[in-house]
Structure 1
């Protein structure tokens, strides 16, 4: 299994820029083309929420067109910036597993050595996250069904506070219900999120919990200052690969443009004096 995870794309309507100066549509189109050009090709691309910025139909039309160019299967879930009904209507053609119920979007992928469970943590009209009783019951049933097969959950909001003064206020409010499932089911060993616009990781029991950067703009990590800052640090995605003997290995893949890659050359690296 080899997956590319991106998040928090915040598409705007045609011709509009985020905050009137950040061309997220162009940047996201660049990301799609970078992923399509990868030499080692993922089995699928995962997007962990906030596909658009304002939940507008015109934003989803741009997102559908650009994401439609991805040359991989797409697994996608909504975030707090998404409108559930518009999200489902526009994104389902790209991800049929989303189903037909905008209030209960969750699905399982059993095509790999690791089970992948996708859940919606968004709460209409709120920036914080919330796991509904329906979602929690579905997730528990899936974990029972999966037995001891290693399992990863993908959701938008992190299920616990991560020490970020700005983002902790809008984490998943009842994420403790997911933590309780981690305690009960040893096979649940990874939780991958978006929302924080930053690579942050922690450990809860056997589960590594990780948030990832956005595809365009990022959120600084301040432990004490809750002001709503953002910046344009280089974007990145996370790659997840199952490695025999090691399990799931995740690594950061830069989406910035930079020189290279270059092939290592011993003669240049450690030249002999006088050469």
Structure 2
């Protein structure tokens, strides 16, 4: 499908690599002005290349685990004249048994994965309403629906994000702002490789009904659809893109 986001401003958090990079690049290809965030001081290599080529990509550093990110991010949005779509993708993970969780790690994961999307949704929603409506897509996880050993922090944050999605959808539905979530399964990214390792990814793939991990390109169309004008009546929902994992 040929997506058209011409004249739309799209915010994508956590866009340095993986799913976030794939989403941001897809919106650029579809004609959007994209504001991308990451924690690095300077744009990452793919961003710098696109910006040097004159594409409508803007970058701002945002560490959602640290205070003070709201003012700088909102100033960047206002310089672009507002925002039509917000993709809450930034996320972190640390594997630890519930008996060994470090309190600081737990708080940081919640700050990035759960608290920041709630605050950002609250900040961008009035701007979307002013423009006649908008779309917010939260990137959750199948571990927000099910879980596995060692995922107490991550599952807590991603399950909370699903509840947040439903609550925000109810608050904003009367104003034409639709809020949904995508829950990816096992996706071949740097983060997945770092957490699982090559053997862990192979083992995971062997247990999936489709017998392969998702690629970033498998996730992106679900996000684009929920963020598009083609989605005119879906809100408060979660779309699992998991190769059949949850069906079992």
Report the structure, 1 or 2, having the larger helix content: 2
Higher Rg of the two aligned structures: 1
Give the alignment's TM-score, normalised by structure 2: 0.43
Give the alignment's TM-score, normalised by structure 1: 0.40
